[in-house]
Amino acid sequence: MHRRLSQALFTLCISLSCIAVTQAGDVQLAVAANFSAPIPAIARGFEEATGHRLVTAYGATGQLYAQIKNGAPFEVFLAADELTPAKLESEGEAVAGSRFTYAIGALALWSAQVGYVDERGAVLKANKFQHLAIANPKTAPYGLAAAQVLAKLGLSQAVAPKLVEGQSIAQTVQFVASGNAELGFVALSQVYKDGLLTSGSAWKVPAELHTPIRQDALILKKGEHNPAAMALVEYLKSEKVAAIITSYGYTR
Amino acid sequence: MPLTKADFAAVLLTFELASLTTLLLLLIGTPIAWWLARTDSRWKQPIGAIVALPLVLPPTVIGFYLLVSMGPHGVIGQLTQSLGLGTLTFTFAGLVIGSVFYSLPFVVQPLQNAFEAIGRAPLEAAATLRAGPWDAFFTVVLPLAKPGFVTAAILGFAHTVGEFGVVLMIGGNIPGKTQVASVQIYNHVETMQYAQAHWLAGGMVLFSFIVLLALYSGRSSGRSSTRVWQ
Amino acid sequence: MIWPLARRNPAIRTVAGAGEIQARFKVEHAGFTLDVELNLPGRGVSALFGHSGSGKTSCLRCFAGLDQPSAGYLQVNGELWQDSAQGVFVPAHQRAVGYVFQDANLFAHLTVRRNLQYGLKRIPAAQRRIALEQAVELLGIEHLLERLPGKLSGGEQQRVGIARALLTSPRLLLLDEPLASLDLKRKQEVLPYLERLHQELEIPIVYVSHSPDEVARLADHLVLLEDGKVSASGPLKETLLRADLPFVFEDDAEAVVDGVVTAHDQAYGLLSLQLPDSQINLRLPHGPLPLGQSVRIKVKARDVSLSLQQAEDSSVLNLLPARVVDWINVAEQAHVLVRVQVGGEQLIARITRYSFDRLQIQREQLLWAQVKSVSLLSTH
C-alpha cells in the first residue's frame, strides 16, 4: 500500500514536472550589478531544474528601483541592500511576505597590482596612494560599507582628499582595474571566483568592520501570478545556489 | 527651492567646464575645420569621420577609452606622467580633455560648413588685393564666418553642459572638481531625492531650450544666408 | 594718364624685357590642358578671346598667381613673377596685379568704401599712384560708398570691383569677362568706363572675353585661344584679317556646310551633294561615295562671288540661288564679307567694296552665289 502510494506519487511528480516543462515560462529578473557574476551559473542550474528561462537586467539598485516604480516589467528583484526591497514592499510594489535575504556580501580592498594590498589592509594606514576608489556611499551599499570601514579605522579624514567615487560598484572595479586608482573597496564577488582571487591583490575586509551587507530579494507585483517567479525564489533558497554564491565570496 | 550647496557647486562647475571647453574647442576646432573645408587630401574623409565619431558613439565608449588611455598604463597617461603631471583621471583637467573630444564635432562641423560656404572666391580677391594668407583669414574669413562661430560656440557649450557618460566614467564624483550637474542629477535619482532631481533636471531642460531657441531665432533672422548648420 | 609705372617691388627680381609681357604656362587639369606661350605688349589692352572652355580664365589666373602652372614663366615689364626652371614663384598677394573678377567678388561684409580701402591700405603710401577720390570719380561710384555690396546692381558692383583693383596701383590689370554676367543695359553702363581705362592708364591690361563686340571695341592686341592653345596672336586688326573664326571679322573666313551625296558623274569625276532643306545641288571634283552619305564641306569666303544674273557662260562650277543675310566691313575697307543663305546653310562671300556698291546689295536680296571651289572635310 505504502509502496503503491509512493509509486503513485512518483508518477504524479513526473507528470507534474512534465506539465512544468510544457508550461515553462520566462522570469524577468532585475539584478544589482554586484551580483552579476554568479547569475550565469544560477541561470543554468535553474533552467536545468525547472525548464524556466531567466531574462536578466543588471543595474544599480537605486536605478532599478526608479524603473520598477515607473512600470518596468521585472518580476523578481535581487537588490544590493535590504532597504530598497523593504521600501518596495511597503509601497505595495511587491508580493507581501516574499522578501528574503538571498546573499550577504563581503567587502574587499582590492588592487590590480599583485602585492600592492597586504593581507591585513595596512596599505590604507600607510596612505601612500593617489586615489582610493569606493562606490558612492549614498547610492551603493558597498560604498556605504566602505565608508563605515574607513570610519571604524579612523581614516575617514586622512583619505578623504583621495577618494574617487564610482556610481556603482561595477564602475569602482573599473577605476581600479584600469589602474587609475591604485586600490579600492569592491565587492569580494567581483574579484573572487571558485574561492580564489582572480587577479591582483586583496584584503578580505572583516565583516565586523561594517554593518552586514544583506542583499534582499522579493517577488514584484508583475510576477505575482507567474509560477516561474515562485520557482525562481524557491531555487534561490536551495543548497545548490548556496554553494554557487559561496564560491563567489558571498555568505548566506 | 530644495537645492543644496553641493548642487550649486555642481552647476557652477558645469559652467566653468563648459566655458573652458568651448574656448579650447574654438582654438582647436578652427584649424581642423579650416583644413577639412579646404583640403583635397585623401585624409580628408578619414579625419572628418574621426571628428564626427562622438556624434554616433555612446559617451560611455569615449569615457571608457579615455579612462584606459589616461590611466597610468595608457598613452595619454604615460605622456602626462613623463611630463610630471601625474594622471588626469579624476581631475578637472581630465574632464576638460574628455569634453573637448566629446563636443568636438559640434564645434568643427558648423565651422567647416561656414568655411565651405565662404568658398575660395573672397580669399582670391583678398590675395589680389595684397593680403597674405593670415591677413586674409583674419580680415575676410573670420568676419564672414561669424554666424558659424556663434553656432559652434553655442552648440559646443550646450553639449558640454549636457555631458554625462564621459564624466561618469572618468570623473570620480569629486565635489568641486568633477561633480557636475548631470552627475548630481543622477545621484539624486539614485538616492530617490526626486525633488532635487527635478529642480536640476528642469533647469537643464530650460537652459537647453533657451539656447536652442536663441540659435534658431538667430538663424532665421540672420542677414547672412551662410549655411552654418546641416 | 593716371600714373607712370609704379616703382618696382625690391623683393622681385628684374629681367630684361621692359615694355613687354612674356608668359608661358602649362596647366593640366583632369581632361583639360592649357599650354600657351604669349608675348604681349607692355601697355594697352590685350584681349584673350575664345569660347568657354578654351582656357582664357585659366590663363588669367596664372597671370595673377591664383593658379600655379606645373611649368611656367612670366615676366611683366621686366619683373620676374614666375620661372619654374629657377623655382621662382611670386605668390598672388606679392604680385602688383589688379584683378577684376567676372562676378565682381566684393567682400559682402564690408561697405563699398571699406572694399576700396582694403587693397589701398595694403600698398605702402609711397607706391600709391592713385587716390581713392580719383578712382571713385573715374568709375562714377561716389553715391555708393556707404552701401553694402549686396545692395548694388551687377553693373555697380563691377565698377566698384574695377576701382578696388585700380587702387592697388597695379603694374598689370587683369579683367576676367567683367561684362559677361551683365545684361545689355548694364554692359552699356560699364563699357564707357572700360574705354576710359584704356585711354587713361599706361599699364598693360589683359582682358578676357568671348564677345567679339567687346574685343573690337577695347582691344589693341588679340590672342585667340582654342582648346588651351594659342591659335592666333598679334595686333588686333592683323589678327582679325588673318584668323579663321567666321564670327570674328576676318578675311580668311570660311563656312562649314553639310550635304548628302545624291550622284556621281563618272565621266567628269564630279560628286553631287544636296544641301539641307532644299533641292540645291553642289558639285565638287571627288571620287565616288555611296548615295545618301552625309558629308561636311568647307567653303572659303574668297572662293565665293556674287552675281545678279544666272551667268550660264561662267567657268565656275557651282551657281547657287542665294539670299543676302547681312554683311561685315573688313578693317581695311576694301572688302566686304557678305553672308548669304543657300538652302538651309549659310555661305560667306568676300567681295570688293566696289562690287558691293555696284551690285547695290541689300538685305533679303535674291541673287546668285558662284562657288569656285569646295573642299571636303569629313564624311559621317
Contact C141, C163 (CB under 8 A): yes
Q: pLDDT band at C219, cuts 50/70/90? A: confident
What pLDDT was estimated at residue B165?
84
Q: How many CB atoms lie within 10 A of CB C318?
A: 21
Which chains have at least 3 CB atom pairs separated by less than 8 Å from chain B?
Answer: A, C
Q: pLDDT band at A24, cuts 50/70/90? A: low
The yes-or-no verdict on residue C350 having pLDDT over 90 is no
- Gap between the Cα atoms of A195 and A212, Å rounded: 20
Give the distance from residue B186's alpha carbon to the nearest chain A alpha carbon, in angstroms.
9
In this structure, is residue B73 part of a structural domain?
A: yes
Q: In what order do the strands lie in the sheet with C345-352?
A: C304-307, C366-371, C318-329, C335-342, C345-352
The average pLDDT across C16-30 equals 85
What pLDDT was estimated at residue B139?
96
What pLDDT was estimated at residue A1?
45
Q: What are phi and psi of B167, to 5 degrees?
A: -60, -40
Instruction: Kindly determine whether residue B172 and residue A178, on different chains, have CB atoms separated by under 8 Å.
Output: no
Q: pLDDT band at B108, cuts 50/70/90? A: very high
Q: Which residues pair with A221 in a beta bridge?
A: none
- Gap between the Cα atoms of C278 and C345, Å rounded: 10
Query: Count of domains in chain B?
Result: 1
Q: pLDDT band at B227, cuts 50/70/90? A: very low
Summary mean pLDDT of chain C: 84
In this structure, is residue B94 part of a structural domain?
A: yes
Angle between helices B194-221 and B146-161 (to 10 degrees): 170
Q: If you search the block for the grid coordinates 573715374, which residue do you land on?
A: C138
Q: pLDDT band at A209, cuts 50/70/90? A: very high
Give the distance from residue B67's alpha carbon to the nearest chain A alpha carbon, in angstroms.
7
What pLDDT was estimated at residue C220?
82
Instruction: Kindly determine whether residue C118 and residue B144, on different chains, have CB atoms separated by under 8 Å.
Output: no
In this structure, is residue B176 part of a structural domain?
A: yes
Q: pLDDT band at C1, cuts 50/70/90? A: very low
Q: If you search the block for the grid coordinates 569580494, which residue do you land on?
A: A188
Give the distance from residue B229's alpha carbon to the nearest chain A alpha carbon, in angstroms.
36
Higher pLDDT, B125 or C209: B125
Give the distance from residue A133's alpha carbon to the nearest chain B alpha carbon, in angstroms.
8
The average pLDDT across B50-64 equals 89
Instruction: Kindly determine whether residue A179 and residue B186, on different chains, have CB atoms separated by under 8 Å.
Output: no
What pLDDT was estimated at residue A13?
46
What pLDDT was estimated at residue C200?
76
Of B122, B135, B224, the CB nearest to C107: B122
Nearest CA in chain C to B119: C105
List chain C domain ranges. 20-242, 254-379
What pLDDT was estimated at residue B222?
47
Q: Would you put residue C375 in left (φ > 0), alpha (ψ -120 to 50) or beta?
A: beta
Residue A129: exposed, middle, or buried by beta-carbon count in 10 A (0-12, 13-18, 19+)? middle
First to last CA, chain C: 57
Contact A191, A108 (CB under 8 A): yes
The residue among C202, C201, C220, C222 whose CA lies nearest residue C210 is C222
The average pLDDT across A33-49 equals 91
Of A60, A65, A165, the CB nearest to B173: A165
What pLDDT was estimated at residue C141?
93
The pLDDT tens digits of the residues spanning C286-325 come to 888 888 888 878 788 888 999 988 877 788 889 999 999 8
Q: Which CATH architecture has domain C20-242?
A: 3-Layer(aba) Sandwich (3.40)
The yes-or-no verdict on residue C247 having pLDDT over 50 is no
What pLDDT was estimated at residue A22?
37
- Gap between the Cα atoms of B167 and B60, Å rounded: 9
The answer, for B168 touching chain A at a CB cutoff of 8 Å, is yes
What pLDDT was estimated at residue A14?
45
Nearest CA in chain B to A138: B191
The pLDDT tens digits of the residues spanning A129-140 come to 999 999 989 888
Q: Which of B123, B128, B144, B223 to mutate to test the interface with C (most CBs of C within 10 A)?
A: B128
Q: pLDDT band at A18, cuts 50/70/90? A: very low
The yes-or-no verdict on residue A98 having pLDDT over 90 is yes
The average pLDDT across C241-260 equals 58
In this structure, is residue B230 part of a structural domain?
A: no
Of B172, B186, B187, the CB nearest to A164: B172
What pLDDT was estimated at residue C379?
60
What pLDDT was estimated at residue C216?
65
Of B122, B130, B140, the CB nearest to C119: B130
What pLDDT was estimated at residue A17?
43
What pLDDT was estimated at residue B221?
55
Residue B138 is given by DSSP the state I
Give the distance from residue B191's alpha carbon to the nearest chain A alpha carbon, in angstroms.
6
Contact C96, C9 (CB under 8 A): yes
Q: Which of A109-118, B175-184, C2-11 has the highest mean pLDDT?
A: A109-118
Q: If you search the block for the grid coordinates 595596512, which residue do you land on?
A: A122
Q: pLDDT band at B1, cuts 50/70/90? A: low
The yes-or-no verdict on residue C214 having pLDDT over 90 is no
Nearest CA in chain B to C104: B125
- Gap between the Cα atoms of B106 and B229, Å rounded: 10
The yes-or-no verdict on residue B171 having pLDDT over 50 is yes
The yes-or-no verdict on residue C8 having pLDDT over 90 is no
Nearest CA in chain A to B68: A178
- Give the 3-state secondary structure of residue B177: coil
CA distances from C134 to A80, B166, C139, C200 (A): 87, 63, 9, 12
> Which residues of chain A are within 8 Å of residue B187 when distances are taken between CB atoms?
136, 138-139, 167
> Which residues of chain B are within 8 Å of residue C99 when distances are taken between CB atoms?
124-125, 128
A and C touch per CB criterion (3+ pairs under 8 A): no
Contact B27, B197 (CB under 8 A): no
Instruction: Kindly determine whether residue A136 and residue B89, on different chains, have CB atoms separated by under 8 Å.
Output: no
ipTM associated with this complex: 0.78
Q: Which helix (H) or strand (E) holds C81?
A: strand C79-83
CA distances from C113 to C79, C147, C229, C232 (A): 31, 8, 40, 41
Contact C274, C260 (CB under 8 A): yes
Q: Which of A88-97, C178-187, C231-240, C332-341 has the highest mean pLDDT?
A: A88-97
The answer, for B184 touching chain A at a CB cutoff of 8 Å, is no
> Which residues of chain C are within 8 Å of residue B125 when distances are taken between CB atoms?
99, 101, 105-107
> Which residues of chain C are within 8 Å of residue B130 when distances are taken between CB atoms?
93-94, 119, 122-123, 168
What pLDDT was estimated at residue B86?
85
Residue A251 is given by DSSP the state B
The yes-or-no verdict on residue C147 having pLDDT over 70 is yes
Give the distance from residue A139's alpha carbon to the nearest chain B alpha carbon, in angstroms.
6
Give the distance from residue C93's alpha carbon to the nearest chain B alpha carbon, in angstroms.
4
Q: Which CATH architecture has domain C254-379?
A: Beta Barrel (2.40)
The yes-or-no verdict on residue B223 having pLDDT over 70 is no
The average pLDDT across A16-38 equals 72
Q: pLDDT band at C243, cuts 50/70/90? A: very low
Q: pLDDT band at B162, cuts 50/70/90? A: confident
Annotated binding site of A for molybdate: 61, 169
Domains and their CATH numbers in chain A: 2-104+213-247 (3.40.190.10), 107-204 (3.40.190.10)
Instruction: Kindly determine whether residue C118 and residue B124, on different chains, have CB atoms separated by under 8 Å.
Output: no
DSSP β-ladder status, A53-59 and A26-32: parallel
Nearest CA in chain B to A176: B71
Residues 6+ apart with CB under 8 A from A50: A20, A24, A228, A231, A235
Ranking A211-215, C11-15, C87-91 by mean pLDDT, the lowest is C11-15
The answer, for B42 touching chain A at a CB cutoff of 8 Å, is no
In this structure, is residue B195 part of a structural domain?
A: yes
Q: pLDDT band at A36, cuts 50/70/90? A: confident
Q: Which residues of A sit within 8 Å Cβ distance of B? A: 60, 62-63, 65-66, 130-131, 133, 136, 138-139, 163-167, 171, 174-175, 178-181
The yes-or-no verdict on residue C107 having pLDDT over 50 is yes
The pLDDT tens digits of the residues spanning A224-234 come to 999 999 999 99
The yes-or-no verdict on residue C202 having pLDDT over 60 is yes
What pLDDT was estimated at residue C4?
45
B and C touch per CB criterion (3+ pairs under 8 A): yes
Percent of chain C at pLDDT exceeding 90: 38
The average pLDDT across A74-103 equals 94
Q: How many CB atoms lie within 10 A of CB B204?
A: 18
